[in-house]
Structure 1
Amino acid sequence: MKNWLNKNAIHIGIIAFFVVICFAYFSPVIQGKAPVQGDVLQAKAMQKEIMEFRERDGKAPLWTNQMFGGMPAYQIWVKYPYNISTYGIDVIKGAFPEPVGTVLLYLIGAYLLFCVLKVNPFLAAAGAIAVSFTSYNFIIIAAGHANKALAIGFFAPILAGIILALRGKYWLGGSLTALFLALEIRSNHVQMTYYLFIAIFILIIVELYDAYKNNRIKPFTKSIGFIGLGVIVAIMVNAGTLWTTYEYSKETIRGNANLTVKIPGEDKGLSKEYAYQWSQGVGESFSFLIPNIYGGATSIDELIKPESNLFKALEPYGQGQTPQLIAQLAQQLGMQQYWGLKPGTAGPYYFGAIVCFLFVFGLFIVKHRWKWWILATSVLLLLLSFGKNFPLVSDLFFNYVPMYNKFRAVESILAVVGLLVPLLAVLAIQEALDGKYDQRYLIKKLTWSAGITGGIALIVLIMPTLFFSFTTPDHAAVLQALTQGFNNDATVANTIMDALVKDRISLARADAFRTLVFVLLGFGLIWALISKKLQNNTVFILLAIIVLIDLWQVDKRYLNSDNFVPKSQLAQHYQPREVDTFIAADKDPNFRVYDATLGDPFKSSETSFFHKTVGGFHSARLMRIQEIADNQFYKSVNQDVLDMFNTKYIISRNPETGAYNMQRNPTACGNAWFVGNIQFVKNADQEMQAISSFDPKNEVVVDQQYRPLITSQNLGSGAEGFIKLVNYHPDHLTYEYSISKDAIAVFSEVYYNKGWKMYIDGEEQPYFRANYILRAAQLKAGNHKVEFKFEPKSYYLGEKISLAGSLLLIGGLGMAFFRRRKDN
């Protein structure tokens, strides 16, 4: 043990340093505080019913009725107990308070990658800091994208495993690839995993070419075999997750449309407009080097300081009000410091001034084939991130590459570039020390690199408007609206808009200056390294510190102490209104609420914390729910549709007083009911049209494909009988009914045939979709019990496969450990 500690003392010390800087950055966690993360709070509301039943039953249900009339719980929160990677994620989340654990994952994962590349430990630490503190990695933490952050954290160790396998360490590389890819998949952010696989695919192509050129096909094939086995094991470990997600995705807004689609090519996956909504502006790529070149985040924090030009321009019209009120005035007038093409942004993709400088240096001096892999991948991903702003490449992928059209916010593909750019930067330093080049050549290339990156910063500093306008695309429209708002006084409007542009220029120039300073510092350090003016380890330690300072300062703009509040305050985030308290007194276990006070009730989960709602929030909601929202709610609210969803209460707000009002809906259909009339339709279009105006209590609209399931020609109306919900569990609903003749019953539950089964007196019976989205069935006469049970094969069989994959993973890791000890 002592020998092991001595041998690994540097690694242990560096990891301890990582722990210290994480706690230093997130010092509020030491005081018992936690970050306010919008998506995490949304998830808390989404999970409300799941967690209540988990606490009561000891396990979570597989379905929840908390939102959208019902959806699979495994798209929100499910344990997957036979998946070994579940426990790995639990350890990462539980060992340290959030978000310390996530950033430690960033750091240790990247450090492992650089150590696998046989980089000096101190240089590896600098590289790990450069990878981890990239601004996007912290911005997504502030936003609460916890799963995305975890997925990004496993990028580097997955590459480490693949590289080990390619170097001939087959068992170790294959098993580590399996382990980290299993954790990556379990993070449950398929989009980020997909983007990583693009980079890996290009790496494999580069390695294949090199193997062919150097007659190394046999060892390369063996490496690919072990990597492939690792991928298969990782997929097996996550069989339950992947199978259920794949099965569900086909029914969601990422699958096929049900209604007739008028735009060719957009009947599958997300619409191009929706997928491209957050596209990186071409010019915004300069934010990799100068963070505030496009104003930073969509906010006015910097613009309302008393010394700002905008504040001075607005102050005469603020009537002596506080800066906060002047800020509100600026927001009302459409003033914002960000001037890019996105609808809004939480911050730029900043890779670091020194990192960008060293990346350019790497393009000059690195001869290893990985330079071409990094360059080709980075260029491709950059072009894809442009989305609608450079559709030539994006449209090819969107239209022809499998699954690419399932993802939105294409700019997030730059998270992979955020790993590749520091990777080449570190390889450049490594290459400079290998003795391949003479000192004069290296200093010449170093000077060119500093001239390119520092020169860009200098141009922005001296002549900022040479290439950048600092105006939004709708600048003229905002100016016109502003002119009208000031009684057609164009002089005042122009003065305010000029002040706004001046402030944006000031922000860009300030960051251009800091970039220039850091480039010069980086140049000085690497010059001292090449010239042997300083020892290697001294340079690497100083480099790590300066890179940390550079990225730390920018990250603090978007994730700082202001993002943290006491945990008790977070626990009390959702406070019931008087109307919520009144509705909560209703002990009916399964009715719904429609909250019209949220703006778009289908893009908020707030009300779902207190009630089962018609609306809700989820990025992969059912396509049929979205189509009903588009056709029955957005234009005008269809009372018939509210009734069929058993919407018992409607919440509204008085626009004058702001008071919340609650209206009990007397026409709500209940949990289940019998109908006497059936209207058959030919397709989804006719079905949607039919429910636009109908009597849901007496009539049911059914697609003709289900006609064979309605066997009796002499159905009763059910008026003389009854049907009622007698036991409620989210994934097991029990009804009792009594009728004298066969009749059609409609249930106010969402139709999802990938797991829901109906039983009458214990025997499985068929049911069908009705009213576009609900369940219905023909029930036989008499007194009987109906049960709906959610029993998805994809989950239960997937869990068995996960168990097998978990055992294989443990076996593979054991074999790798055994062989490594044997080799040593």
Structure 2
Amino acid sequence: MNNWFKRNGIHLAIIGIFIAICFVYFSPALQGKALFQSDVIQAQGMQKEIMDYKAKDGKGPLWTNSMFGGMPSYQIWVQYPNNITTYVISFFKAVFPNPIDTVLLYLLGAYFLFCVLRMNPWLAAAGAIAFAFSSYNFQIIDAGHSNKAIAIAFFAPILAGIIMTFRRQYLAGAAITALFLAIEIRTNHIQMTYYLFLVLLILIGIELYHAIKAKTTKEFIKSFAYLAAAAVLSIAVNAGALWTSYEYAKESTRGPSNLTTDKSEPNNGLDRDYAYAWSQGVGESLTFLVPNAYGGASGVSDLGVDSEVAKTLGSKGIPAEQIMPAMQQLYGVGLSTYWGDKQFTSGPWYFGAIICFLFVLGLFIIKHRIKWWILSATLLCLLLSFGRHMPFLSDIFFNYFPLYNKFRAVESILVIAALLVPVLAILAVKEVAFHTEDPNKLKKHLLYSLYITGGLLLILIAVPSLLLDFRATGHNQFVEQLTQLTNGDRPFADSIANSLIQDRISMARMDALRSLVFVLIGAGLIWTLINKKLSPQIVFILLAAVILGDMWNIDRRYLNNEKFVEKNVLAQQFQPRDVDQMIMRDTSNYRVFDLSGRQGPFSDSGPSYFHKSLGGYHAAKLKRYQELLDKQFNGSINEDVLDMLNTKYVITSDQTGSKQTVQNRDSAAGNAWFVPSVTYVKNADQEMAAISSFDPKKVMIVSEEFKPMIDLRRIGFDANGFIRLTSYHPDLMTYEYSSGKDALAVFSEMYYKHGWNAYVDGQKVPYFRANYLLRAAQLPGGNHKLEFKFEPASYYTGEIISLIASILLVLALGYAMYLEAKKPDEGAKVVKG
């Protein structure tokens, strides 16, 4: 044991430093404060019903009726108790407060990768810091994109396992790959995992090419077989999550359209313009090196009282204390330091000035094939991130690559570049430190790299307008709106706009100067390595410290102590208003349509915290529900549709949004009802048209595909019959009914064929879809008990598969560790290929 601590002491020390860095950066977490994350707040509203039943039953339901009329909870919150990776993530969350756990995962995963690449531990620490503190990684934490952040954190260890396997540590590499890939999949951010898969295909292709060239195809095939087994095992570990997500994706807004008459509706996947909405501007890539080249984050937070805009406003007699509020007001018409093409942004993609400089150096001096993988993969990610700005490439992927059109915000693929750029940068430092090349040649490459990065920065400092325009696409429209706000004073509007441009230029120039300083420091450290003025160990430690200082300073612009609040403040985010309290006095089962929120009913989970809401907040609604909203709620709201959805209360507000009122809708159809007649339609278009004007209590609209499930000869309408909900649980709806004859019943519940089953007195009976998206059934006459149970095989069978695979994964890891322990001198060795 003592020998083990001695051999691994430096690694333990570095891990301790990582923990200390995280606690210092997020020191408010030690004071009992919590990070205010908008998406986390939204998630609390989305999950409220689920968590209430979890507290009651010890198990969260698989369905929730708290938003969008009802939907599976797969993409909201679901337990997968048989999945071993669930407990790995839970452990970190239990030991370390949020967001320390996430940043620590960033650091540890990247450190492991750099160690596998046979880096000196301190150099590996420098690389881990460079990746972990990349600005986007902190911006998504600030926004509350927790699953995305954790998915990104496991990129590096997955890559490490794959490299180990290709370097012929077959079992250990495959076992590590299986573990971290299983955790990656468990985070349930398929978009991030998909992007990783794209660049891994390039890596495998390059490895295959070199295997053929070196006549080592047997070893390649063996490595590939181990990795394939690891991938299958990691998928099996997540069988429940993947199977349910696969089912739901086909029925969600990511799936094919049901309508044919609306040509704007995509046949499959997302709308192209929606998917490309957040595309990285080609010129914005300059922010990798100069964070404020495009004005930083959207808004006016970087415009102080000494800014040019503030001086211009002050020149018109606006009091000093009113200048900042005035700028905030002008943000509504386009006053923002950010001037790129995105609708808005939380901040730039900053990889680090030193890292960018070292990346360029790596392109000159790295000879190993990993350079060509990093370069090709980074270029692909960069080009795809341009989205609508480079449609000839993006459209190929959008139209022809499986699943690619399911994802929005294409700029997110730059998360891969944010990992690969530091890898090549740190490999360059290693090459210089332990070089066999002529020092004079290294110096020449050092100068070339300095000329490229330093020269670009000097241009930005001296004549920034030579490279950048500093005017947003809607600049002229912004000036026109300013003119209107200033009562037609066009010269004043022009002066505000020109002052804003000067502020943007100043921000870019100052950050370019800042980056130049760090580039010169980095160049100086590399020069000392080449000339052996300092030991590599000292240089590595200094490099890690300087990279941390560089990245830390930029990250604090977007995620700082001011973002933390007292925990009781978070607890007060959902406070029932008078209208909510009045509605909640009604203990029956109904839906609420809240039109009072400023964000709109379909972008706010607040009402879902208190009610079964027609609105909500989620990126993947049921497709049929979204189509219903587009056709029946766009412009005027269809009251007939509100009735069939059992919408008993509608909340509205006055123009100021300060006073809410409640409309009690007596016409709501209820939880279930019998109808005397049925109208058949040929397709979804006719079905949608039919519900545009109908009486849901008198007729059901049914697609002809369900006609065989209705026997009109046996059906009659009993005016004295009834059907009522007697027990409510999201996964189990219990009704009792009485009818003299077989009857057609409609239920104000979302139709979802993958898991809902109907039982009359314990006997399974068929049901079908009516009124475009509701459940309906032909029920046998008499007095009976009816149950709708949500029991998806995809979840329950998937959990059995997950349990078996989790056991196999643990056994594989244990056996790999046993074999590695038998050969301690070989265990950490990675054969250089």
Is the TM value for this pair above 0.5? yes
Map of 1:489 onto structure 2: 489
Taking a change above 3 Å as real, the CA distance of residues 691 and 487 of structure 1, as seen in their structure-2 partners, is same
Query: Aligned with 1:393: secondary structure?
Result: helix
State the one-letter code of the partner of 1:346: S
Residues 1:557 and 2:592 are matched in the alignment? no
Map of 2:691 onto structure 1: 691
CA distance in 2, matches of 1:327, 1:483: 15
Contact conserved, 2:595 with 2:653, CA < 8 A, in 1?
Answer: no
* TM-score, scaled to structure 2: 0.97
Map of 1:313 onto structure 2: 312
Contact conserved, 1:715 with 1:744, CA < 8 A, in 2?
Answer: yes
User: What are the equivalent positions in structure 2 for 1:197-208 lying under 5 Å apart?
Assistant: 197-208=197-208
CA distance in 2, matches of 1:719, 1:312: 76
Q: Return the offset for 1:583.
A: 0.9
Residues 1:128 and 2:128 are matched in the alignment? yes
Map of 2:21 onto structure 1: 21
Taking a change above 3 Å as real, the CA distance of residues 18 and 376 of structure 1, as seen in their structure-2 partners, is same
Q: Return the offset for 1:478.
A: 1.3
CA distance in 1, matches of 2:341, 2:191: 22
Query: Aligned with 1:700: secondary structure?
Result: strand
Q: Return the offset for 1:315.
A: 2.9
CA distance in 2, matches of 1:466, 1:315: 30
Q: Return the offset for 1:567.
A: 1.2
Taking a change above 3 Å as real, the CA distance of residues 126 and 110 of structure 1, as seen in their structure-2 partners, is same
State the one-letter code of the partner of 1:510: M
Contact conserved, 1:318 with 1:326, CA < 8 A, in 2?
Answer: no
Q: Return the offset for 1:569.
A: 1.2
| 1:126-175 Cα deviation digits (max 9, x unpaired) | 00000100000000000000000000000000001001111111110000
User: What are the equivalent positions in structure 2 for 1:672-683 lying under 5 Å apart?
Assistant: 672-683=672-683
Map of 2:341 onto structure 1: 341
Contact conserved, 1:354 with 1:518, CA < 8 A, in 2?
Answer: yes
Contact conserved, 1:315 with 1:326, CA < 8 A, in 2?
Answer: no
User: What are the equivalent positions in structure 2 for 1:127-146 lying under 5 Å apart?
Assistant: 127-146=127-146
| 1:734-785 Cα deviation digits (max 9, x unpaired) | 0000111221111000000000000111111111101111101111111011
CA distance in 2, matches of 1:262, 1:583: 37
Q: Return the offset for 1:696.
A: 1.1
Query: Aligned with 1:104: secondary structure?
Result: helix
Map of 1:655 onto structure 2: 655
| 1:159-193 Cα deviation digits (max 9, x unpaired) | 01001111111110000000000000001100000
State the one-letter code of the partner of 2:312: A
Residues 1:62 and 2:62 are matched in the alignment? yes
CA distance in 2, matches of 1:32, 1:549: 26
Map of 2:281 onto structure 1: 281
CA distance in 2, matches of 1:75, 1:265: 23
Q: Return the offset for 1:4.
A: 0.8
Map of 1:362 onto structure 2: 362
CA distance in 2, matches of 1:420, 1:345: 23
State the one-letter code of the partner of 2:93: K
Q: Return the offset for 1:575.
A: 1.1
CA distance in 2, matches of 1:533, 1:769: 77
Map of 1:667 onto structure 2: 667
CA distance in 1, matches of 2:229, 2:399: 30
CA distance in 2, matches of 1:160, 1:188: 21
Map of 1:540 onto structure 2: 540
| 1:428-474 Cα deviation digits (max 9, x unpaired) | 11122333211111111011111111111111111010021101111
CA distance in 2, matches of 1:434, 1:228: 35
Query: Aligned with 2:615: secondary structure?
Result: coil
Q: Return the offset for 1:333.
A: 3.4
User: What are the equivalent positions in structure 2 for 1:710-729 lying under 5 Å apart?
Assistant: 710-713=710-713, 715-729=715-729
Query: Aligned with 1:674: secondary structure?
Result: strand
Taking a change above 3 Å as real, the CA distance of residues 656 and 171 of structure 1, as seen in their structure-2 partners, is closer
Q: Return the offset for 1:264.
A: 8.3
Contact conserved, 2:592 with 2:651, CA < 8 A, in 1?
Answer: no
Q: Return the offset for 1:488.
A: 2.5
Equivalent pairs, count: 823
Query: Aligned with 2:668: secondary structure?
Result: coil
Map of 2:814 onto structure 1: 814
CA distance in 2, matches of 1:657, 1:803: 51
CA distance in 1, matches of 2:334, 2:73: 40
CA distance in 2, matches of 1:240, 1:209: 36
Map of 1:639 onto structure 2: 639
Residues 1:271 and 2:271 are matched in the alignment? yes
CA distance in 2, matches of 1:313, 1:104: 45
Map of 1:163 onto structure 2: 163
Map of 1:745 onto structure 2: 745
Taking a change above 3 Å as real, the CA distance of residues 694 and 596 of structure 1, as seen in their structure-2 partners, is farther
| 1:701-720 Cα deviation digits (max 9, x unpaired) | 11111111111335323432
User: What are the equivalent positions in structure 2 for 1:600-611 lying under 5 Å apart?
Assistant: 600-611=600-611
Runs of 4+ in 1 over 4 A off after TM superposition: 261-265
Map of 1:147 onto structure 2: 147
Taking a change above 3 Å as real, the CA distance of residues 399 and 659 of structure 1, as seen in their structure-2 partners, is same
Q: Return the offset for 1:263.
A: 4.5
Task: Calculate the aligned-residue CA RMSD, in Å.
Answer: 1.3
Map of 1:97 onto structure 2: 97
Q: Return the offset for 1:422.
A: 0.1
Q: Return the offset for 1:596.
A: 4.2
Gaps of 5+ in 1: none
User: What are the equivalent positions in structure 2 for 1:158-237 lying under 5 Å apart?
Assistant: 158-237=158-237
CA distance in 1, matches of 2:716, 2:370: 73
User: What are the equivalent positions in structure 2 for 1:371-450 lying under 5 Å apart?
Assistant: 371-450=371-450
Map of 2:828 onto structure 1: none
CA distance in 1, matches of 2:317, 2:219: 73
| 1:557-576 Cα deviation digits (max 9, x unpaired) | 11001110011211111111
Residues 1:577 and 2:599 are matched in the alignment? no
Q: Return the offset for 1:589.
A: 3.6
Contact conserved, 2:313 with 2:323, CA < 8 A, in 1?
Answer: no
CA distance in 1, matches of 2:247, 2:312: 56
CA distance in 2, matches of 1:723, 1:797: 33
Map of 1:619 onto structure 2: 619
Query: Aligned with 2:752: secondary structure?
Result: coil
| 1:471-498 Cα deviation digits (max 9, x unpaired) | 1111111112222332322211111100
Taking a change above 3 Å as real, the CA distance of residues 468 and 60 of structure 1, as seen in their structure-2 partners, is same
CA distance in 2, matches of 1:818, 1:538: 36
Contact conserved, 1:265 with 1:399, CA < 8 A, in 2?
Answer: no
CA distance in 1, matches of 2:598, 2:678: 35
Contact conserved, 1:109 with 1:156, CA < 8 A, in 2?
Answer: yes
Q: Return the offset for 1:591.
A: 3.6
Map of 2:498 onto structure 1: 498
* TM-score, scaled to structure 1: 0.98
Q: Return the offset for 1:343.
A: 0.5
Taking a change above 3 Å as real, the CA distance of residues 61 and 220 of structure 1, as seen in their structure-2 partners, is same
Contact conserved, 1:260 with 1:685, CA < 8 A, in 2?
Answer: yes
Q: Return the offset for 1:340.
A: 0.3
Gaps of 5+ in 2: 825-833
CA distance in 2, matches of 1:219, 1:178: 19
Q: Return the offset for 1:617.
A: 1.0
Q: Return the offset for 1:822.
A: 2.3
Query: Aligned with 1:501: secondary structure?
Result: helix
User: What are the equivalent positions in structure 2 for 1:235-314 lying under 5 Å apart?
Assistant: 235-260=235-260, 263=263, 266-303=266-303, 305-314=304-313
Greater CA deviation, 588-597 or 618-627? Answer: 588-597
Map of 2:831 onto structure 1: none
Contact conserved, 2:62 with 2:731, CA < 8 A, in 1?
Answer: yes
Contact conserved, 2:432 with 2:526, CA < 8 A, in 1?
Answer: no
Contact conserved, 1:675 with 1:718, CA < 8 A, in 2?
Answer: no
CA distance in 2, matches of 1:570, 1:503: 35
State the one-letter code of the partner of 1:217: T
Q: Return the offset for 1:39.
A: 0.7
Query: Aligned with 1:67: secondary structure?
Result: coil
Contact conserved, 1:644 with 1:696, CA < 8 A, in 2?
Answer: yes
CA distance in 1, matches of 2:173, 2:687: 54
